[in-house]
Structure 1
Amino acid sequence: MRGQTRAAHACLAGLAVAFWATGALAHDFWIEPSTFRPGPGTAVAVGLRVGENFIGDPVPRTASLIDRFFVRQAGEEQAVGGADNIDPAGFLRADGRATALIGYTGGGSYIELPAERFTAYLRQYGLDGIVAERERLGESRQPGRECFYRYAKSLLAGTTADPAVTRPQGFTYEIVPDADPTVAGAGPVRGHVLFLGQPVAGAVVTAHLQGQPAVRLATHSDAQGAFSLPLPQPGVWLIRSVHMVRAGMLAHWLHHRDWESHWASLTFNWPGVRP
């Protein structure tokens, strides 16, 4: 909850920029390292990106918006270092022996959209349940006011798989693969989506192939939060999902926001189906 509290203050501080930044702030957010398959001892630049269809713009490091920014490798977790207002947002030295996990949590940015644009945005990201709730409560003609949070992961392939990448990292919302997707698999890439550690049913989960924006797969998580994506070809993939909940009464009255959205992403280089 420490990260949520810190991000809530950042959300309030972001009110002044809400109106000119609404276009960029609501897009997908992911980690894009300089290489997804570093050798032992390789220096890796860790870029943050925001955009759509796996086409993004650089996001410079902003310490005030970061809750956690780390790499977990060789059984240890270390902070990803970097300088503010710089892209790439961080640098690390890859161990290379087993798959490494880079994690980022942060956000707390506020946006407000006119009613029609908010509804279109909800439908674009498969948040039809929120559209229905706004209709039921007579809010469809009201502007959408939300604070959003970002939870990104990226996997760096090593010489061996690491089962640690299949474990939850304690993010508020996260995508957890069932098996290490940096090694050749026997079928679809499978995983779970979790909110506050609990499975989310009916979440829209999409996959995008780097360099081919027309390649897009989408599915819904089942009652146990599980999803399956039959990726059609090897390459660098982005899997993402968005979960939105109504803001608490205190946030509504004090900070004038009605919704909180949580954006999860996972990037990795998938070598394809095992022959």
Structure 2
Amino acid sequence: MRFLSTLFTCLFLARAAVAHEFWIAPEDYTVDPGAPIVADLRVGQDFEGSPQTYFPNRFARFEVKMGESVSPVEGRLGDMPAMSFTPDRTGLAVIVHETTASSLQYRTRELFESFVDHKDLGDVLARHAARGLPELEFREAYSRFAKSLVAVGDGAGADAPVGLRTEIVALANPYTDDLSDGFPVRVLYEGAPRPDAQVEVLARDADGAVTQSFYRTDDAGEAVIPVSADTEYMVDAVVMHDTGNDDPGAGPVWHSLWANLTFHTP
């Protein structure tokens, strides 16, 4: 068991260090009443990624919220897909997954700068220099906060904040609401809206073609995403904060927090 734990940890860290998004990937975003919701946890880029096993030491929360009911996602160590959960009711199922914190060290300065630029992390590079931190010999902690929307039966219901440190809240139900004016979301950080935050969206159409687009939240932390029919969406927003540690030898000096939301339009 100790060997398996170490092996899974190493594999997870190796994948996460060279990849970007972490997301919940249901096999089907609409399921019949009484049928299981089966989903992978994936790490990768451009909607392509490696599935992760069910590994309790690697997550702080893994649950399904339907209305006011919250149920843990249970499994056996090494299960893949990581999730097989049979709801006891119909409606909108909100899958919630929070990883435990991990850390990495960048192989090159260019990778760090590219990450800061791609995720639009503001003045991180200037703050890094002002803190007197080395250009490369430092570690960054990272945590992932993923949600996914699945329709069980009629799919009726609504998303709501679930108390993640950062999260993306759907302000419409993709399975029951009119989305002709777009799909509205709110980005939260520590329970408060994140104004002027970058929202990255990946869309995979029925033919498998993936497109990428970027939006910004308004003063209320909200953004409206244009959507098309029969398309899978991933919405991503990242925030970076100072850990309060300016000694690279004592631990991570930055902590990136990744919010992710997946859903599928009819």
User: Given the superposition, is the C-alpha separation of residues 173 and 25 from structure 1 closer, same or farther in structure 2, using an over 3 Å criterion?
Assistant: farther
Q: Please report how far the alpha carbon of residue 135 of structure 1 lies from its aligned counterpart in structure 2 after TM superposition.
A: 4.4
Number of residues paired by the alignment?
A: 254
Q: Bigger shift: 31-40 or 85-94?
A: 85-94
1:248 to 236, 244, 247: 244
- The 5-angstrom pairing of residues 106-145 of structure 1 reads 106-113=99-106, 114-137=108-131, 139=133, 141-145=135-139
Q: Is 1:220 matched up with 2:221?
A: no
| Letter in structure 1 aligned against 2:253 | D
% same residue: 27
User: 2:14 is paired with a residue of what secondary structure?
Assistant: helix
- The 5-angstrom pairing of residues 34-53 of structure 1 reads 34-53=27-46
Question: Hey, what's the Cα distance between the residues in 2 that align with 1:74 and 1:176?
Answer: 14
Q: Please report how far the alpha carbon of residue 210 of structure 1 lies from its aligned counterpart in structure 2 after TM superposition.
A: 2.7
Segments of structure 1 that go 5 or more residues without pairing to the other structure are: 1-12
| Letter in structure 1 aligned against 2:200 | T
Question: Hey, what's the Cα distance between the residues in 2 that align with 1:39 and 1:247?
Answer: 45
User: 1:99 is paired with a residue of what secondary structure?
Assistant: strand
TM-score by length of 1: 0.83
User: Given the superposition, is the C-alpha separation of residues 68 and 145 from structure 1 closer, same or farther in structure 2, using an over 3 Å criterion?
Assistant: same
| Letter in structure 2 aligned against 1:175 | I
User: 1:148 is paired with a residue of what secondary structure?
Assistant: strand
Q: Are the counterparts in 1 of residues 133 and 248 from structure 2 also a CA contact under 8 Å? A: no
| Letter in structure 2 aligned against 1:37 | T
Q: Is 1:200 matched up with 2:202?
A: no
Q: Please report how far the alpha carbon of residue 248 of structure 1 lies from its aligned counterpart in structure 2 after TM superposition.
A: 2.3
Q: Deviations over 1:44-63 (max 9, x none)?
A: 22210000111111011221
More helix by share: 1
For 1:151, the equivalent position in structure 2 comes to 145
Q: Bigger shift: 222-231 or 177-186?
A: 177-186
Q: Deviations over 1:136-155 (max 9, x none)?
A: 55547344521100111111
User: Given the superposition, is the C-alpha separation of residues 35 and 232 from structure 1 closer, same or farther in structure 2, using an over 3 Å criterion?
Assistant: closer
User: 1:157 is paired with a residue of what secondary structure?
Assistant: strand
1:238 to 231, 234, 240: 234
Q: Deviations over 1:121-168 (max 9, x none)?
A: 2212222431232345554734452110011111111304202x1x10
Question: Hey, what's the Cα distance between the residues in 2 that align with 1:142 and 1:84?
Answer: 35
Segments of structure 2 that go 5 or more residues without pairing to the other structure are: 1-5
Q: Deviations over 1:78-108 (max 9, x none)?
A: 1111111221112101346211111111131
| Letter in structure 2 aligned against 1:149 | S
TM-score by length of 2: 0.85
For 1:4, the equivalent position in structure 2 comes to none
User: Given the superposition, is the C-alpha separation of residues 168 and 74 from structure 1 closer, same or farther in structure 2, using an over 3 Å criterion?
Assistant: closer
| Letter in structure 2 aligned against 1:208 | L
Q: Are the counterparts in 2 of residues 155 and 182 from structure 1 also a CA contact under 8 Å? A: no
- The 5-angstrom pairing of residues 1-275 of structure 1 reads 21=14, 24=17, 26-73=19-66, 75-95=68-88, 97-113=90-106, 114-137=108-131, 139=133, 141-158=135-152, 159-163=154-158, 165=159, 167-183=160-176, 184-210=178-204, 212=208, 214-249=210-245, 255-271=250-266
Q: Are the counterparts in 2 of residues 210 and 237 from structure 1 also a CA contact under 8 Å? A: yes
Q: CA RMSD in A?
A: 2.6
